[in-house]
Amino acid sequence: SEWLFVEMADVMAAEGWRDAGYEFVCIDDCWMAPTRDEHGRLQADPKRFPSGIHKLANYVHSKGLKLGIYSDVGNKTCAGFPGSYNHYELDAQTFASWGVDLLKFDGCNSGTLELLAEGYRRMSLALNKTGRSIVYSCEWPFYLRPMQQPNYTEIKQYCNHWRNFFDVYDSWSSIKSILDWTALHQDSIVKIAGPGGWNDPDMAMLAGIFVFLSQLVIGNFGLSWDQAVTQMAMWAIMAAPLFMSNDLRHISPEAKWLLQNKEVIAINQDPLGKQGYQIIKDKNFELWERPLSGRAYAVAVLNQQEIGGPQNFTFSLTFLGNGLACNPVCSIRQVLPASRDWGVYSWVFSLSVEVNPTGTVLLKV
Residues designated catalytic: 106, 167
Shortest CA distance to 260 belongs to which of 272, 271, 250, 248? 248
Q: Strand (E) positions, the chain?
A: 24-27, 66-72, 102-106, 135-138, 161-163, 198-200, 209-212, 277-282, 285-291, 297-303, 311-316, 329-336, 340-346, 350-355, 360-364
What secondary structure letter does DSSP report for 216? B
Shortest CA distance to 264 belongs to which of 292, 245, 287, 224? 292
SS3 at position 316: strand
SS3 at position 113: helix
d(C-alpha 231, C-alpha 220), whole Å: 13
Torsion of CA 309, 220, 185, 125, to 10 degrees: -160
SS3 at position 49: coil
**What angle is formed at CA 233 by the lines to CA 229 and CA 234, rounded to 5 degrees?**
115
Q: Considering Cα of 249, then 253, then 259, then 263, what sign does the dihedral take?
A: positive
Residue type, 159: C
Residue ranges of alpha helices (H) inside 163-315 are 172-184, 186-189, 225-237, 253-259, 262-268
What secondary structure letter does DSSP report for 250? G
Are residues 68 and 104 in contact, defined by beta-carbon separation less than 8 angstroms? yes
Are residues 142 and 149 in contact, defined by beta-carbon separation less than 8 angstroms? no
**What angle is formed at CA 253 by the lines to CA 248 and CA 255, rounded to 5 degrees?**
65
